[in-house]
A and B are shown apart, each in its own frame.
Chain A
């Protein structure tokens, strides 16, 4: 019945519509097909690449979002916490939509909906009412404020605003309201994550005389929810206690059972308060936790370790870091899992060895993906990171220089996906690894895209799988090798090489 109805996928291919488009073109003042084709070909040239790389101010298809969105992601992982945007309503709606399209889950965020009058007189009145209504209607256990560029430009002082809101009785004095300044015109979402995590830890942590046996873990801006489960599982195998600071794995992966609960799981606020008293902290991303790491090292006075937990080598680093921080031996189960990952790579790497890759993503993930690809014998050629700093660029160059398979790697920090397009035309690779937006590059260049990153809006449920640990390594390897095989099938479909045996 329903299969006979044509929707946009096939409807407009019919001649009725194709003829209509041809008719419509008369009114469009459109260029001739020849001119469009000629321009298209020109954009594939070295000449165009040179022009493209000369631009100083124009940014086209960047791979980064703004600070407050990263802040919301840090906040939503704490027990009963309502993220709150101090700024224009549009910001909150955009952040929520962005996360919901990726996770396909509710993502509550309140906002004080500042308007022109707040721009002139300051946003305090909006914030007072906003906090009051949020508290009364949604009963959060903690509210975490982030700022939009509007409130940053007018210079609102969150510290005194929150104090006044409590003194004037808009919200109870005992309600934790943490706040971070997250200007959109500095850094990107990963900096917002860092600023907000730092603020929450600074404002909530309660130092005691003695240390306990727990290890703090902070994942960074990690949107693969199964990673939160994976790190807890690894700690359990070690028999060690983890204090996972920001854990959105329940609230962003809740059941459909007839009831909607705004808050689920998350790091208990008591654990958050106790975080300074753990005996160490392990960070699973570096570039989204620069300031947080500095603060913990200085203020909490316990060891901080940073690892990049992707692939065999990355997970080895992770496992050894946990062993070192906890003083416990590596569990046999993990060694077994390691062997399973090595086994799987040995089965599959023939299809990847010698293949070239264009990788784009956030700084930590991009570097991790390079190592994953190289463990299969792949060669990263372009590593493009819009929100990679100069420091990231220098460090990544240095790190990659140790690897034989990275000889041809070029690091492109601060570049966007339109730069990437030129690179892919002038120095093509066998596969792109990136987020959903990279599908435009796949279409333009014909190079297969393997989707790993954020956001992933055009494929379902990928974020439910792990990417860290040996199990995560296996998952990423599976995605990459099977995508390569799909591409080979597509290219050989009408040849004798269209093999059953791969």
Chain B
């Protein structure tokens, strides 16, 4: 790629990719690929559209968005995967949402609880069974604070009334029972599942005025929203907020409780991490309760400091002074130490990202802090507003892809030969076969946290470990 104009090279690769498609698929995929320059202000990608059949997309479904992302991490609720056994099985403990508590007693995050639909349930409907199941769950897990009913594909097709079951059983057990119509065929990706789950929380928690704990009023009460505590992310973020002098009265949904979800409405400001998956709740709470929300980014020194100041600006001078103090006295020295250790080992490397949520843009500056340039980035399930936000982060010519598939990934790796790829489990092993270092950037490759100051240290260590792993020098045998 050296020598050639980077933008021209990108456009050439894009054309080569499109040439491999038949006309219909080409027309569709043409709207999903773009090479942007740093000065661009508009991204023309037409996102949140149907998957082209048969291309091997990396997307998941609405159930994955609702159960896997939004509901699953709420630790004191029983989350019922309602339908056949598979969906709950494959998503069981697969997202590493850390949560304190005793499993099976007051923490149900790492459990696969399902109605295990059989043929008779398809034929006769599952409402009666669901009613009994919720009662059985409440008996066996008496310390639960609520139940969610997460529909799998058949539920919406056979016409079950899970809302009626939820209302009736909620009255009977005296706890919230929240129906969520997140059948996998709804929408085009995980994203609609997030939205449906947000709406379920709105209708069955906030509209029903479910109560949280009593909270002492303070101008510094904040809510940390849409951090799923993967590998402990929410905790390393929360630590910063507390050190700034803020009270985190609600953390969701990572290591969260029903009470904390309800506490959200008592916050003075909502701090929104993953915009894509929970902006719906922020907008609703803003409209209904007049609580403002602020987006922030706790990946890497540049963005952590910028976000801390942005958050502090919502509060008085006391918080602002405290924020500057901890940046100068505590965080900056730690950042300097990490950057001086790892930047020399990573400087000048190129990276490709293909992830979900906010990461395809949020992580770019963290890489830049370490001297790594992100040259390709893309989202599994973004909307147009995500692409608009992405341009704010782009400082070099970048190849952007929406809903990448295996064929496109192969072409991109072949043409760009990045030094590092950050994507998911489905992309990991085919990339490594090609001798390219890889990190799973959904699950932090079983490491973490990556958020916050403590998380940046782990991030820097892991990226170094990936790029400079000893084995990558042994791909070619000495006799070749």
Contacts and interface: CB of A to CB of B under 8 A. Distances in A.
Q: Does chain A bind chain B? A: yes
Interface of A: 1-2, 5-8, 11-12, 16-17, 20-21, 23-24, 26-31, 35-36, 39-40, 43, 48, 51-52, 55-62, 64-66, 68-69, 84, 87-91, 93-98, 100-101, 104-106, 108-116, 118-119, 126-127, 129-138, 148-150, 153-154, 183-186, 188, 254-262, 418, 421, 437, 440, 443-444
Nearest to A126: B53
B24 interface: yes
B359 to A, nearest CB: 17
A30 B185 contact: no
Given A6-B454, A93-B59, A62 B83 contact: no
User: Which of B89, B260, B426, B449: most chain A Cβ within 10 A?
Assistant: B89
A440 B105 CA distance: 13
A309 to B, nearest CB: 27
B341 A1 contact: yes
Contacts of B232: 8, 11-12
B313 to A, nearest CB: 24
Nearest to A41: B105
Contacts of B289: none
B429 A2 contact: no
Nearest to B156: A119
A133 B111 contact: no
Given A5-B461, A26-B213, A64-B85, A90 B433 contact: no
Contact of A258 (B62, B235, B258, B435): B435
Interface stretch (B91-99, B301-309, B385-393, B394-402): B91-99
Given A89-B59, A134-B54, A8 B449 contact: yes
B362 interface: no
Contact of B186 (A7, A93, A116, A421): A116
Contacts of B51: 89, 113
B430 to A, nearest CB: 4
Contacts of B142: 39
A176 to B, nearest CB: 16
A258 B185 contact: no
A97 B119 contact: no
A111 B57 contact: yes
B294 interface: no
User: Which of B56, B190, B263, B430: most chain A Cβ within 10 A?
Assistant: B56
Nearest to B131: A57
Nearest to A88: B184
Contact of B185 (A56, A57, A88, A184): A88
A134 B53 CA distance: 8
Interface string B446-464: 0111000010011011001
Interface string B408-421: 00100000000000
Contacts of A1: 341
A106 B430 contact: yes
B184 A150 contact: yes
B140 A52 contact: yes
Contact of B110 (A24, A87, A104, A440): A440
Interface stretch (B200-208, B245-253, B316-324): B245-253
A485 B56 CA distance: 46
A186 B118 contact: yes
Given A259-B434, A440-B103, 18 more contacts: A8-B447, A20-B235, A36-B102, A36-B143, A59-B116, A89-B189, A90-B63, A93-B61, A94-B91, A97-B94, A115-B188, A118-B185, A132-B54, A133-B55, A136-B22, A137-B55, A183-B119, A418-B140
Nearest to A112: B53
Contact of B434 (A6, A138, A188, A258): A258
A83 B416 CA distance: 29
Contact of B57 (A20, A113, A256): A113
B187 interface: yes
User: Which of A24, A43, A64, A104: most chain B Cβ within 10 A?
Assistant: A24
A116 B112 CA distance: 27
A157 B94 CA distance: 33
B290 interface: no
B83 A149 contact: yes
Which 9 residue pairs of A and B lie closest in terms of their CB atoms, listed nearest first?
Answer: A90-B61, A66-B86, A133-B54, A29-B259, A130-B54, A130-B53, A94-B90, A184-B84, A88-B184
B121 interface: yes
Contacts of B458: 5-8, 11
User: Which of A20, A48, A89, A150: most chain B Cβ within 10 A?
Assistant: A89
B341 A185 contact: no
A418 B448 CA distance: 29
Given A62-B89, A108-B406, A257 B433 contact: yes
A62 B52 contact: no
Contacts of A68: 86
Interface in B57-85: 57-64, 76, 83-85
B98 A8 contact: yes
B84 to A, nearest CB: 4
Contacts of A119: 156-157, 185
Interface string B176-220: 000000001111111000000000000000000000110100000
Contacts of B189: 89
A51 B157 contact: no
B85 A254 contact: no
Contacts of B153: 87-88, 148-150, 153
Contacts of A127: 53
Contacts of B52: 113, 129, 133
26 contacts: A7-B458, A8-B231, A11-B232, A24-B248, A28-B213, A28-B260, A36-B102, A36-B143, A59-B114, A65-B85, A69-B86, A84-B54, A88-B184, A90-B62, A90-B63, A90-B190, A115-B50, A132-B22, A133-B54, A134-B56, A137-B407, A149-B152, A183-B119, A256-B432, A256-B433, A258-B476
Interface string B422-453: 00111011111111000000000001110000
Contact of B86 (A52, A84, A91, A256): A91
A31 B143 contact: yes
A115 B407 CA distance: 22
Given A56-B132, A93-B426, A137-B407, A111 B53 contact: yes
A40 B103 CA distance: 9
B25 interface: yes
B239 interface: yes
Interface in B102-142: 102-106, 110-119, 121-122, 129-130, 132-133, 136-137, 139-140, 142
B257 interface: yes
Contacts of B333: none
A440 B258 CA distance: 24
A256 B61 CA distance: 31
A8 B452 CA distance: 13
A392 B262 CA distance: 48
B186 A30 contact: no
B54 A129 contact: yes
A153 B132 CA distance: 24
Contacts of A108: 56, 406
A106 B430 CA distance: 6
Given A36-B102, A444-B103, A51 B139 contact: yes
Given A55-B136, A104-B429, A115-B50, A17 B239 contact: yes
Interface in B224-269: 231-232, 235-236, 238-239, 242, 248-251, 255, 257-260, 263
B457 to A, nearest CB: 5
A89 B257 contact: no
A135 B54 CA distance: 8
B172 to A, nearest CB: 15
A104 B425 CA distance: 9
Given A51-B139, A94-B90, A24 B251 contact: yes
B115 A59 contact: yes
Contact of A98 (B90, B184, B475): B90
A51 B140 contact: yes
B87 interface: yes
B110 to A, nearest CB: 7
